[in-house]
Amino acid sequence: MVYPYQIQSLSDYKKAYQQSVEDPENFWASVANHFTWHKKWDKVLDWNFTDPKIEWFQGATLNITENCLDRHLEKNGNSPAIIWEPNDPNEKPRILTYSKLHEKVCQFAQVLLNNGVKKGDRVCIYMGMIPELAIAVLGCARIGAIHSVIFGGFSAQSIADRVEDAQSEFIITCDGAYRGAKDIPLKNVIDDALIGNKTVKKVIVYTRTRTPISMLKGRDIWWEDEMRHVEEMGIHTIPAVEMNANDPLFILYTSGSTGKPKGVVHACAGYMVYTNYTFVNVFNYQPAQIHFCTADIGWITGHSYIVYGPLSAGASSVMFEGVPTWPNAGRFWDIVDKYQVNILYTAPTAIRSLMGYGLWPLQGKNLSSLKVLGTVGEPINEEAWNWYNEQVGKNKCPIVDTWWQTETGGCLISNIAGITPSKPGWATLPLPGVQPVLVDDKGNEIIEMEEGVYKGNLCIKFPWPSLLTTTYGDHERCRTNYFATYPNLYFTGDGALKDEQGFYRITGRVDDVLNVSGHRIGTAEVENAINMHAGVIESAVVGYPHDVKGQGIYAFIIHNNTESDESLTRKDIIQTVSRVIGPIAKPDKIQFVNGLPKTRSGKIMRRILRKIAEGETENLGDITTLLDPGVVEEIKKGYI
Ligand code: WTA
């Protein structure tokens, strides 16, 4: 495929940006013209940020899988769509060409139909990183079912909450998943999640690990058996269901500042156009290149830049089942070498963790195929940037620092590989269509520089095609979370700096959301989980700087300690959090305290706890408004 909307030079970028701001409708229409539609739009954009209402390509109909699969068959049918690298390097990799993937997706879509899945039904997918996960996702999209992928590290309780919120009747899972030396019993977790559940009718199970599992009669069915039936029916292709542009494509749950994750909803057309546009542009993708995004499909990065972005562009997308450090810390480099990867897209936390192993894992690995490097998920520190640049990119690969969110669907602020300048630690310039603005706490635009930069809360003032359309089942929640803080602005929850060149640097969350190893976790969520432990009276969770994870989780807990051994209580609490949310939310530090710093109205002053967790003991700011300033001294003494 050739991409007429691919930016080729700095002046191209400037022109595209200007047009996208002055005439967004024509700008996006001219991009959207290069996709396969059943019917083109009547109106490119209908929006207001008050309700909010965000509808792109109104009146158009399409199916995203035709854009990701069918349209490549004629010219690219035999080129790899998914290159799958197993957890164990000794196991055989799998390569699915576009033709093969198309066939499998159609067949699996037929399996869904055979089992009563209809357009608009919500299907939860809880699988490891195997090609069948992508097949399940695309199979849903083929028939217009709404997929909700749940990351394989989430607990039974988290799954139960998501299944219930989405009123999901169907689940697709595996017996188990391999992750490094671990074998995760996914189906058993699903069984636990479904205790007492009344909505789920069918659970489709793919065999990956041969972990012994139980199959509930009438509810649980094998993927392989179902696919065999379809094969026997002689079905190799099925028509794609025609979707309205603004029909939901998927739900993806993400943490916010409240205890309950929100079901972010993305619509078919806008999401497709924007993920494709950003994939092709940000990475400066060239036909036949091999793209390796190391994220998990359980997160938005995997949705947009393993599945939909690359496949809609006809690229070859590497999908890796394992972890970067198993069986050794050379795993990424082996994969780059083995498949001659051209674009590597990973998270700063992975880079920092690999840096810790020194240079031996890189020795003897041929990384000369690499052309573009990317990072996502959290701010990248200069040391990690330099290491990535020198040791991996050998000083010849541009590094794109892509800032975006689950809600934004695709990258919003990022340099464009080889075309716009980079600046270590800075996401740099907004992509075409993106109009950022920094505001103070009252919502006024920051117009004065402080020490050479503008500093404020990052908002966006105009929609781009893959902005979330709602939060599932609760539109009001979408409004209050994103559009009510500042009138007529989408509020990101991030703080940012802007320099005199107009470059942005994201400084981190300004709300009660942590970013641990690039994963979003709400402090309230962790507190709720901790409070479920018998004996915990109250808790307050904050983030603190962590060398590898970016942020670590620091919990201050009031506990009626009956156990003589504090460390056992600590272990129990960690276990509780792991059971309620998942291992990713386990506190790194737990400090038992007798009281928490509260205002007279009973609000916990997190600002003070954050300072203490950062190791700051002197400048804690004004503590005179506290109900009992004495607790602060005690907490400072107990700092770990
Ligand atoms: C953070 C991941 C700095 C940010 C795609 C955002 C970043 C949150 C960057 C979204 C970056 C993401 N530099 N911070 N390049 N990219 N973030 O929803 O705080 O999992 O709000 O989406 O990650 O996390 P999410």
Q: Which element (helix H / strand E) includes 36?
A: none
128, 268: one domain: yes
Question: What does the pLDDT look like over 546-556, one tens digit per residue?
Answer: 999 999 999 99
Cα distances (Å, whole numbers) of residue 222 to 67, 89, 139, 213, 297: 29, 27, 16, 12, 22
Q: Within this chain, do residues 597 and 481 fall inside the same structural domain, yes or no?
A: no
Q: Are 344 and 336 in contact (CB under 8 A)?
A: yes
Give nearest CA residue, ligand 1 atom 8.
405
Q: Which of 464, 495, 526 is the last residue of a domain?
A: 495
* pLDDT in the model for residue 621: 80
What are the angstrom distances between the C-alpha of 515 and each of 257, 436, 523?
12, 21, 10
Classify residue 5: in a domain, yes or no.
Answer: no
Choose the final residue of a domain: 442, 460, 495: 495
* Domain assignment of residue 124, yes or no: yes
Say how many Å lie between the CA of residue 455 and the centre of ligand 1.
18
61-80: pLDDT as tens digits:
999 999 999 999 999 999 99
Average pLDDT of span 109-120: 98
Residue 508 domain-assigned (yes or no): no
Same structural domain, 445 and 487: yes
Task: Name the domain count of the chain.
Answer: 2
Domain membership of residue 503 (yes or no) is no
- CATH assignment of the domain containing 536: 3.30.300.30
pLDDT digits (tens, 9 = 90+) for 370-404: 999 999 999 999 999 999 999 999 999 999 999 99
The token pair at 426 is 């800075």
Tokens 């190791």, residue? Answer: 615
pLDDT of 356 over the 80 cut: yes
Regarding whether 543 and 478 lie in a shared domain, the answer is no
pLDDT of residue 561: 72
- The reply to whether 4 falls in a domain is no
Q: Is residue 475 located within the same domain as residue 536?
A: no
Task: Please indicate, yes or no, whether residues 30 and 159 belong to a single structural domain of this protein.
Answer: yes
- pLDDT tens digits for range 42-56: 999 999 999 999 999
Both 311 and 212 in one domain: the answer is yes
Mean pLDDT of the region 147-160: 96
Specify the pLDDT at position 462.
Answer: 98
Same domain, 341 and 479: yes
Write the pLDDT tens digit of every residue in 588-606: 999 999 999 998 888 888 8
Q: Which domain holds residue 299?
A: 10-495
Residues 487 and 522 in one domain: no
306: nearest Cα among 139, 519, 154, 131: 131
State the CB neighbour count (10 A cutoff) for residue 545: 12
Q: Cβ neighbours of residue 499 under 8 Å, at least 6 residues apart?
A: 426, 452, 453, 454, 505
Q: Is 405 in the pocket of ligand 1 (CB under 6 A)?
A: yes
DSSP H or E run through 425: none
**What is the pLDDT at residue 477?**
96
pLDDT tens figures, 269-292:
999 999 999 999 999 999 999 999
Tell me if 501 is assigned to some domain.
no
| Residue 2 scores a pLDDT above 70 | no
Which helix H or strand E contains 60, and what residues bound it? none
CATH number of the domain bearing residue 427: 3.40.50.12780
Question: How close is the Cα of 405 to the center of ligand 1, in Å?
Answer: 5
Amino acid sitting at position 469:
T
The verdict on residue 572 lying in a domain is yes
Nearest to 192, CA basis, from 526, 580, 530, 534: 580
Q: Is the CB of 406 under 6 A from ligand 1?
A: yes
Q: Give the position, in ligand 1's atom list, of the atom nearest the Cα of 299.
A: 20
Q: Which two tokens stand for residue 630?
A: 């004495």
How many Cβ atoms are within 10 Å of 9's Cβ, its own excluded? Answer: 12
pLDDT at 8 over 90: yes
Domain boundary among 495, 527, 545: 495
Same domain, 458 and 560: no
246 domain residue, yes or no: yes
Q: What is the mean pLDDT of the chain?
A: 96
Q: Is the CB of 509 under 6 A from ligand 1?
A: yes
Tell whether 606 and 570 lie within a shared domain.
Answer: yes
Cβ within 8 Å of residue 358, ≥6 positions away: none
What pLDDT is attached to residue 537? 92
**622 falls in which pLDDT band (50, 70, 90)?**
confident
Residues 565, 484, single domain; the answer is no
Residue 594 three-state SS: coil
Contacts of 344 (CB under 8 A, 6+ apart): 292, 294, 332, 336, 370, 372, 373, 374, 392
CA 376 to CA 427: how far, in whole Å? Answer: 10
